[in-house]
Amino acid sequence: MSGFKFSIVKKLKSALGRAGVLNTPHGKIETPAFVVVGTKATVKALTPEQVSSLEAEVVLANTYHLYLQPGAEIVRKAGGLGKFMNWTGPTMTDSGGFQAFSLGAAFGQKVSKISKEGPGGYSSILQNTRIPNETRREKAEEAGRLARIDDDGVTFKSHIDGSEHRFTPESSIKIQKDLGADIIFAFDECTSPHASYAYQKEAMDRTHRWAQRSLSSHLAVSPPSEPNGTEQALFGIVQGGRFEDLRRESAKIIGGMDFDGFGIGGSFDKEDMHNAVGWVNKILPEEKPRHLLGIGEPADLFGGVENGADLFDCVAPTRMARNGTLYTNDGKINILNSAFRTDFSPIDENCGCYACKNFTRAYVAHLFRAREMLGATLGSIHNLYFIVNLVKKIRQSILDGNFSEFKEKFLGRYYK
RNA sequence: GCGGUCGUAGCUUAGCUGGUUAAAGCGCUACCCUGUCACGGUAGAGAUCGUGGGUUCAAAUCCCAUCGGCCGCG
C-alpha cells in the first residue's frame, strides 16, 4: 500500500463532504473527482491525449469486458491496463459485479439501477413480502438472462458469442491482478431496484461474504508490505439497495474490513439517493476514500459530494454524447433537435472545451445527422469536460468555503 | 405519331386475380439513457394511391380518357 495515500484537505462544516488528495503509483487524484469510464480499455470515441486534455485524472475499465476481449493475459503481457491503452495516469477496474445485474435481472428489460418510483411506489410494496406471482415472473425471466447468480459466484453467458464463463470473488481478483489497474474492486452483486427486501438482504449477505473472499485473495497475492511496482489498492463495495437498515448494516460490515477504500454500489430510489449515500458514509471510516459507483448526473454529483463521496464514475456523459444529448449550464440539450441546424453558437457559451471553442451547434448537429464519427468525438469531449470540470469546481468550492452557494447557483440555473 | 411501360408518405418501394382504420425501409419530429449487452432504444407525425370520368354494394386494385416520366419504332 505504500504507493497509496489518501489525505483530506478540507471538510464541509455542516455536511459530510470533503476535499482531498488520493495518491496512487501513477499519480494523484484530487478528490472529489470524476472518473472517466473506459470499459474496454478505451474511452469511446476519444484518444488518451484527448481524455487527458479534458483534465481527467483517472480512467475506469471493466474486468468482465476485458476478460472476454482481448483476455486478461494479453493485457498483462502488454504491461497492464495503463500501458496497453497508453494512459499514463491512474487506472481502476470494476470487478464485473455490475454485470451480474446488467446481464442478469436488467438484461433485455428497461430497468436502470436508479428507480424513479419513489419510496411509496411498487418497490415498497415488495419490501417485506414476496408476491407469488412476482416469484413466478422472475423465474420465467431468468431463462433469457445472460447472468445467473449462486452463492459461490456468477455464471455469465458472453454477450459477444454466447460462451459460458464463471466469475467468483477469487477469479475476479485474479483477473484484476492481471489487468493491473491501480485501484480494483471487490466482486459484488449489484441488485435491481425492483428486488424485494428479502432478496436484497440475501444478495447483500452474499456480497459481504464475497467481499471477505475478495480481500483474502487480494492479500494472498500482494501482501500490504510487499514493495513492488504492481501494487494495487482494493476497494470493498457497500450494498443494501434502497433500504436504510440494509445500507447501514452493509456499511458497518464492509467498513469494518481492511479495504483501502470503498465503493458504494447497487440500486437507488432516485429521490432518496443522496440520503442513501449519507447513511453509508456516516458509518464508513472517514479517513478512507469512497467511490459512488455509476453515478454522474449533475444533481447527483452535488448530492454525492455533500454526503461524503470522493469519487464518481458514470457512462452518462459519453453514452449520451454518442446519442446527441449534450450538457449545458442551462440543462441538457438534444443536438438533433431541428432548431440547432441553424444555430451557429457554441454548444455552451461559457464552456472552455475544444468542441465549444472551435465548432458551432449547427456543425455538430450536421455531424450527428450525417452520422459522422467526429460528432461522437466532439460530443464526448464536451460532455466529459463539462462533468469533469463540474466536479473540479465543486472541489474548489469546498476549498473556498462556498459549496452551498455554488450548488444553489449551478442547480438553480441547470434545472430552471 | 404508333407501341410498350411506369406514376402509392419527403425518398425508394410493397400491395394491384376488387373487400376491415393503404404497409415497409430510409428520412423527418420528439423523448430516453446513472459501476456500457449501447455510434443504442422508445414513441409520433406524414399518402384524399398522377388527374378526371365510369363499372360495382365496395376501386390503389377493373375499364375509358387525360397529364407526366422512361424505353422502343417511326
Nucleotide nearest to A94 (CA to C1'): B35
pLDDT for A223 equals 56
pLDDT for A137 equals 44
- Confidence class of residue A116 from pLDDT cuts 50, 70 and 90? confident
Sequence length of chain A is 416
Question: Which of A208, A296, A306, A224 lies closest to A11 in space, CA to CA?
Answer: A306
Nucleotide nearest to A338 (CA to C1'): B29
- Kindly write down the DSSP assignment for every residue of A151-203, as one continuous string: SS-EEEE-TTT--EEEE-HHHHHHHHHHHT-SEEE----PPPTT--HHHHHHH
pLDDT above 90 for A408:
yes
Distance of A80 CA from B44 C1′ (whole Å): 49
Strand B-proximal residues of A, range 64-93, CB below 7 A, are 65
Over residues A26-45, the mean pLDDT reads: 97
Nucleotide nearest to A106 (CA to C1'): B37
Q: Which DSSP letter does residue A93 get?
A: E
Distance of A373 CA from B24 C1′ (whole Å): 28
The 3-class secondary structure across A207-248, one letter per residue, is HHHHHHHHHHHHHHHCCCCCCCCCCCEEEEEECCCCCHHHHH
Decide: pTM greater than 0.95: no
Answer whether any strand B atom is within 7 A of the Cβ of A269.
Answer: no
Nucleotide nearest to A95 (CA to C1'): B35
pLDDT above 60 for A131:
no
% of chain A residues with pLDDT over 90: 84
Answer whether any strand B atom is within 7 A of the Cβ of A97.
Answer: yes
Mean pLDDT for all residues in chain A:
91
Burial class of A202 by CB neighbour count within 10 A (0 to 12, 13 to 18, 19+):
middle
pLDDT above 50 for A229:
no
Answer whether any strand B atom is within 7 A of the Cβ of A168.
Answer: no
Answer whether any strand B atom is within 7 A of the Cβ of A15.
Answer: no
- pLDDT tens for A149-197 read 999 999 999 988 889 999 999 999 999 999 999 999 999 999 999 999 9
Answer whether any strand B atom is within 7 A of the Cβ of A320.
Answer: yes
Answer whether any strand B atom is within 7 A of the Cβ of A369.
Answer: yes
CB A92 within 8 A of CB A211: no
Nucleotides of chain B in contact with protein CB (under 7 A) are 27-41
Amino acid at A106: A
Query: Strand A33-37 relative to strand A59-62: parallel, antiparallel, unpaired?
Result: parallel
pLDDT for A142 equals 62
- Confidence class of residue A143 from pLDDT cuts 50, 70 and 90? low
Query: Helix, strand, coil shares of chain A as percentages rounded to 5?
Result: 45, 15, 40
Answer whether any strand B atom is within 7 A of the Cβ of A334.
Answer: yes
- Confidence class of residue A411 from pLDDT cuts 50, 70 and 90? very high
